[in-house]
Chain A
Amino acid sequence: MFNYITRRLLQIPVVLFVLSLIIMGLMQLLSPEQRAAAFVTSDKQIENLDLIIEKYHLREGFVVQYKLWAGEVLRGNLGFSRISKEPVLTTIRKRFPASMELALAAFVPIVLVGVWLGTQAATHRDSLLDQLLRVVAIVGWSLPTFVVAIWLVAWIYGGLGWFGIGRLPSSLLIELAGGDFKKYTGLFTIDGLLNGRLDITLEALKRLVLPAAALVIVVSAGIMRVMRSSMLDELGKDYVRTARAKGLAEKTVVYKHARRNALIPVITMAGPMLGRMIGGIVVIELIFNFPGLGEWAAKAALQLDVTTLLAFVMLIGLIMAVANLLVDIAYVVVDPRIRYE
């Protein structure tokens, strides 16, 4: 197990290397001036683009350029983001917790709802409930996230005035910027508790409800379908018949025996999903005015801020690799029979 994890950890740099090759390759399609922006670290330097092009040999071939870029990155200089007007790393440090908080707030209900509905559909196979859930799943699957988000914002926030958008009301944000509120994790819900400021936790939670709900409506359908079919698979197996034959209660058979085994494909699906969410749910963050990584990247894409996008891709690559590793570890926790050599 330990060896396996080490090996997987060593693979992460390789994945990042391949990704950076692809992105740098794509960047060769840009003009030297556009690429020079990747090395700019302050607003003033933007005026001296010619000097930068000279200094970093941007008119030279791909290999020279890649070496230079990789050298900068290894030294911890990911570049300067035109969108946030500060070094990329500073922005990532600021925005990562926001995306993390939103991702967790949506992920937990998505998995719980998906697994629960999937189990119900499987145990009531071909009944009215199963058919109904099937239609619900197809409809949910067909709803674009941005459409659900707009409908929720219009109807619940705009119409009824419930919950809220953004991360915190601006009055609280101003207070936090100046006050002695300590940032332990960067997640306002948890920091609020740790600082003994329940009002902050509540306000932050209130503002997570709508974006999380939008994601639950769209994404849990997929988890539910996977759960249903893998649950049906398990319920048809011999050990389930044995368990029933020895007189175990139906509840024990379904929830203790079959469901645990049925969770494996769900984990396979849910892990990368969480990774993708932490990387920012672009559309949701934009519509709910949530200052996370996705919103930043979307603005960068619209204004051709290549430095920001490059750093964003590397970050996503890292997050996805870690998420996949966590999935492998989760298999062992759920099913102790799985061993890695």
Chain B
Amino acid sequence: MHDDLDTREREPWYRSKTFKRFRRNPLAIVGAVMLLGFVVVALFAPAITAPQLAESRTARPCLRDLGVKRTEVVSALRNPLNKIFWKAVLTPPESCYSIPRASYSPLPKPPSEKHPLGLSGNSYDILYGLVWGTRTAFYVGFLVVGISLMIGIVMGGMAGFVGGWVDNFIMRVTDVMLSFPGLVFVMIVASIFGSGLTQVMLALAVIGWAGYARLFRGDILKTKAQDFVDAARALGASPLRIFWKHVFPNAIGTLVILASMDIGSVVLSAAGLSFLGLGAPVGYADWGQMTSFARGYILGTAQGSPFDFWYVWIYPSLMIVLFVLAWNLLGDAVRDALDPKS
């Protein structure tokens, strides 16, 4: 009897109606292409910024950690046959995330041949910050969503499967968390733990799980009410087996897809906090931190010439917008495909 069941294969996901709806949405294609661009930039960040690394004195720690000589940087980082190329792409040392400085001059400099997007205040290379900032953005997005998704699955799973007072208690906690503005909570947690990118990411993850817990609980309750779960129970399966073999795999899919679409908004919150000065330290390759230079160079300049230092803040803010836009275009298409009525 088992063999019978196993030969009837499931429809592969790429042939499902949901995926077809998704594929036919032009906005989804635009989002996917944009995102692909960001992935390429993030992956090949060392190769793209090799000249800047070779140029600047302040990039020495990064070169030392990579184990490459100054004169060989460009040829090593742009040659896929070289071991250092792969080391830089796959496990770049932390020191490479600090933006190299061309000099110690406090004034921004417009784009030039050596620095294609110009230098921001204190001579940080803008192109370098943007390119490596893409890595930071992916890192922050995936890590925060991953952690809060895990907390959400554990809490929502307990609430949905155990039920009773556990359910009641967890749901009341999510009530409080969802009704309270997240940014305020993150500000407090960050101020207590001290500011820094890690602290902000932790705070965002600790705040973000409530929504996922609710969604997962709902999905579990829906799945639990279906006939095959009753059938498994009638066959004498233990509650744990029912949960892991029958309920969990059926409830998890939508949740993971919907959660991954939140990566854009997580990056947006993190950028806002970095902008406030709670996130990455000055000089770290992070778009929000780079945009915060704008405060000095818009409000500080004389009336009537706010665009003198346009390159300092327009590029990083555009990167944030495009990154979030790519995720939101995808996310909108995904939600549409999952729920065709709306």
Contact = CB atoms under 8 A, between A and B. Distances in A.
A and B found bound together: yes
Interface of A: 15, 18-19, 23, 26-27, 29-30, 134-135, 138-139, 141-147, 150-151, 153-155, 157-159, 161, 165, 229, 232, 272, 276, 279, 282-283, 286-287, 289, 297-298, 300-302, 304, 306, 309, 312-313, 316-317, 320-321, 324
Given A147-B320, A161-B303, A316-B181, A29 B192 contact: yes
Interface string B289-311: 00100110011010111110010
A298 to B, nearest CB: 6
9 contacts: A18-B176, A29-B193, A138-B328, A144-B271, A147-B321, A154-B307, A154-B313, A283-B276, A316-B181
A26 B189 CA distance: 8
Given A151-B317, A158-B306, 12 more contacts: A26-B188, A142-B324, A144-B317, A144-B324, A147-B317, A153-B299, A154-B298, A154-B310, A298-B187, A302-B276, A309-B191, A313-B188
Nearest to A160: B304
B329 interface: yes
A321 B320 CA distance: 33
Contact of B275 (A165, A283, A320): A283
B275 A146 contact: yes
Contacts of A155: 306
Given A161-B304, A316-B181, A324-B179, A309 B275 contact: no
Contact of A302 (B27, B181, B277, B301): B277
Contacts of B189: 26
A204 B306 CA distance: 23
Contact of A316 (B180, B264, B313, B332): B180
B229 interface: no
A272 B307 CA distance: 37
B273 to A, nearest CB: 9
A312 B275 CA distance: 21
Nearest to B324: A142
A235 to B, nearest CB: 13
B280 interface: no
B188 A301 contact: yes
B278 interface: yes
A43 B271 CA distance: 35
Contacts of B143: none
Contacts of A165: 299
Contacts of A324: 179
B58 interface: no
B342 A232 contact: yes
B264 A142 contact: yes
A272 B179 CA distance: 7
A45 B277 CA distance: 29
A309 to B, nearest CB: 5
A119 to B, nearest CB: 16
B291 A146 contact: yes
Contacts of B272: 144-146, 283
A138 B187 contact: no
A158 B302 CA distance: 8
A30 B189 CA distance: 11
